[in-house]
Amino acid sequence: MKILYFAWLRERLNKSDETVSPPDEVKTIDQLMDWMSARDEGFELAFANRKLIRTALDEKIVGHDTPLDGAQTVAFFPPMTGG
């Protein structure tokens, strides 16, 4: 699956995207974040306050408890404001 990072997440992780193959037991976005955090301290720090991170699954904004269900793309981004 392709992971996209936007705004300060991209800057903090020093990458805009990557392709990952999480293990079968990773079923939700929250579990994906746990798995990514366990692999790399940078992700652990970036995902430390998950209330500050929004997610999109195949271009649809969803909650962290959403099942991955064969998703092709997951995007992580901070809340956006209008203006």
The domain limits of the chain are 2-77
**Structure confidence at residue 82 (pLDDT):** 53
**Structure confidence at residue 74 (pLDDT):** 98
> What's the topology of domain 2-77?
Ubiquitin-like (UB roll) (3.10.20)
Q: How confident is the model at residue 19 (pLDDT cuts 50, 70, 90)?
A: very high
Residue 32 in this model has a pLDDT that exceeds 80:
yes
Q: How confident is the model at residue 78 (pLDDT cuts 50, 70, 90)?
A: confident
Positive/negative CA dihedral, 38, 41, 28, 68: negative
Q: Please state, in angstroms and rounded to a whole number, the distance separating the CA atoms of residues 61 and 73.
A: 12
Residues 6+ apart with CB under 8 A from 40: none
Residue 83 in this model has a pLDDT that exceeds 80:
no
* Average of per-residue pLDDT across 48-68: 95
Helical ranges in 2-40 per DSSP H:
8-13, 29-39
